[in-house]
Amino acid sequence: MTEEKTDVLVIGSGIGGMCAAAYLAHKGYQVLVTEALPRIGGHCSTIEYKGIKVANGVIGPGLGGPLEALFREVGAEYNVRPAGIPHYLVNGKMMELPVKGGTRALLKAATDDHDDVEKVLKAFSAGMRENPPDTMSMKAWLLQYTQNQSILNVFQTMAAATAIVSIDRISAKGFFLFLKQHQGFREWGVCPEGSIALPSSLTKVVENNRGEVWTNAPAVRIHVDEGAAKGVTISRNGKEVKVAASIVISNCGPKRTVDLVGRENLPREYLTELEKLIPASAISIHIKSKVPLLDYDTMLVVGARRVVAIFQLTSVCPELAPPGTHYIVVGADPVSELGPEQAKEEIDICMEDLKELIPKFQTHGEILMTGCFHGDWPAMFSIAGQSMSPKTPIKKLYAVGDGFIAEPGMTAMVGAAGSGVAAAKDAVAELRL
């Protein structure tokens, strides 16, 4: 077995792992990132297919938030082109969301039941001020004020399209924390080179600072001795390489991290907490068309069976497809935990939605691929409002990514990036000792 040495070893090149890696490399530490797949980025990646840069996960990174700030701090390019204001399709009527009073406008478009709208809005303002208990789902919280299905549908789209979770899975507290954390950076955009451009730009920071990013190189074991991580064995080019590291940062998700460490090395309470994490499921459908399928770049949908958002990404970044070709991504929220059988059924229901929502879909749309994120490879390892700390019970081992959110209410790529930075800052303090 070959033996090597580095200051910091990062397992997984998802956005959380790459943010940690770039932060530490920028601070002058030697960093090695090891990625199991042939391409970097995890759920923030891009697959070239039929000439189109297909989004493998992240569709619209936020603008002006903590993620962009981190890129600036480490000198990485954040090439995200602003998208337009999202349009909402509410009960078949199209509307543009006003800059202020968006929730009121949506509820009014959804129903004529003014009493219930006012009741819910009053409770909503109170919910934003004082956090409701996290023992209640957002749906159960809403049902205290209304039984109106159209009102519930508005909140379902808000949750599913922005936080990748349905209102019956996210706690009311988690939903309000999410809204509070994210309302300051509501703008989003599209990467002209595909979302993989973001981890690629962090890779440059690592490589320009003595570091390396390996692909096709799965970590097979995290070595623990006397309660501290000492290094990682990696399978690379058919051989095992043992890399000693002062700090190990795992970005490969809770279950894989436990497998790499060995359950016997972790306290039972920690394993129990990890098992409580609720993963997020999602469906994405990728379509190409020779004619535009939407008149806007983004359409959020209230009241469909599964589909909650449709993005015509080439309206923002025509570079994503050959000239004259339009690339559209559909996001849907499956109702239940998905197994292989349910996944197919759920995609069929999404297709029914699409036929009704986009009349030109049947005549002009060509399905490129469908993605069903669940089980061992969920859309996120944890929904918003839950928090496992990036710190682990093993010394010199951190776990980062969307299952290990450092700040309550953060989620998805911003949450994953935040956990990477939080772990990296703690690692700097440890490396200085």
Q: Which of 8, 9, 15, 294 binds ligand FAD (CB under 6 A)?
A: 15
Closer by beta carbon to ligand FAD, 44 or else 152 = 44
Residue 157 is a binding residue for ligand FAD (CB under 6 A): no
- Pairing outcome for strands 307-312 and 298-302: antiparallel
Residue 17 is a binding residue for ligand FAD (CB under 6 A): yes
Q: Which of 8, 32, 59, 172 binds ligand FAD (CB under 6 A)?
A: 59
Residue 219 is a binding residue for ligand FAD (CB under 6 A): yes
Q: Which of 246, 251, 315, 392 binds ligand FAD (CB under 6 A)?
A: 251
CA torsion through residues 47, 400, 63, 120, sign? positive
Which element (helix H / strand E) includes 314? helix 313-316
Q: Phi then psi for 293, rounded to 5 degrees?
A: -95, -20
User: Alpha helix (H) ranges present in 262-321?
Assistant: 268-275, 313-316
Residue 37 is a binding residue for ligand FAD (CB under 6 A): yes
What's the full length of the chain, in residues? 433
Residue 256 is a binding residue for ligand FAD (CB under 6 A): yes
Closer by beta carbon to ligand FAD, 151 or else 205 = 205
Task: Give the HSE-up count for residue 70: Cα atoms under 13 Å, Cβ half-sphere.
Answer: 30
How would DSSP label each residue in 103-133? HHHHHHHH-S-HHHHHHHHHHHHHHHHSPPP
Residue 284 is a binding residue for ligand FAD (CB under 6 A): yes
Q: Which of 197, 202, 205, 252 binds ligand FAD (CB under 6 A)?
A: 252
Q: Which of 23, 29, 71, 373 binds ligand FAD (CB under 6 A)?
A: 373
Residue 13 is a binding residue for ligand FAD (CB under 6 A): yes
Q: Determine the 3-state secondary structure of 240 from DSSP.
A: strand
Q: How many residues bind ligand FAD (CB under 6 A)?
A: 37
Q: Which of 32, 44, 52, 158 binds ligand FAD (CB under 6 A)?
A: 44
Read off the DSSP letter of residue 391. Answer: B
Q: What is the token pair recorded at 103?
A: 């929730």
| Rounded Cα distance, 21 and 263, in Å | 26
Residue 307 is a binding residue for ligand FAD (CB under 6 A): no
Residue 34 is a binding residue for ligand FAD (CB under 6 A): yes
Residue 347 is a binding residue for ligand FAD (CB under 6 A): no
Residue 35 is a binding residue for ligand FAD (CB under 6 A): yes
| Rounded Cα distance, 52 and 158, in Å | 29
CA torsion through residues 354, 356, 358, 361, sign? positive
Residue 374 is a binding residue for ligand FAD (CB under 6 A): no
Residue 194 is a binding residue for ligand FAD (CB under 6 A): no
**Which distant-in-sequence residues (6+ apart) come within 8 Å of 202 by Cβ?**
18, 19, 21, 22, 71, 74, 76
Closer by beta carbon to ligand FAD, 11 or else 159 = 11
Cβ 326 to ligand FAD shortest distance, Å: 19
Residue 379 is a binding residue for ligand FAD (CB under 6 A): yes
| Rounded Cα distance, 106 and 90, in Å | 8
Cβ 358 to ligand FAD shortest distance, Å: 19
Residue nearest to ligand FAD according to CB distances in the complex: 14
Amino acid at 202: L
Say which residue the tokens 């995290």 belong to.
Answer: 222
| Rounded Cα distance, 195 and 329, in Å | 13
Residue 16 is a binding residue for ligand FAD (CB under 6 A): yes
Cβ 135 to ligand FAD shortest distance, Å: 25
**Which distant-in-sequence residues (6+ apart) come within 8 Å of 88 by Cβ?**
94, 95, 96, 97, 106, 109, 157, 299, 300, 301, 302
How many C-beta atoms lie closer than 10 Å to residue 225's C-beta?
Answer: 9
Beta bridge partners of 397: 248
313: left (phi over 0), alpha (psi -120 to 50) or beta: alpha
Say which residue the tokens 């944890």 belong to.
Answer: 382
Nearest to 70 by CA among 418, 352, 396: 418
Cβ 217 to ligand FAD shortest distance, Å: 7
Residue 65 is a binding residue for ligand FAD (CB under 6 A): no
Residue 197 is a binding residue for ligand FAD (CB under 6 A): no
Residue 86 is a binding residue for ligand FAD (CB under 6 A): no
Cβ 139 to ligand FAD shortest distance, Å: 22
Q: Which of 31, 32, 36, 190 binds ligand FAD (CB under 6 A)?
A: 36
Sole window of 114-122, 137-145, 249-257, 340-348 interacting with ligand FAD (rule: CB under 6 A) = 249-257
Closer by beta carbon to ligand FAD, 151 or else 219 = 219
Beta bridge partners of 299: 87, 310
Closer by beta carbon to ligand FAD, 127 or else 279 = 279
For ligand FAD, the binding residues (CB under 6 A) are: 11-17, 34-37, 42-44, 57-61, 218-219, 251-253, 256, 282, 284, 371, 373, 379-380, 401-402, 412-414, 416
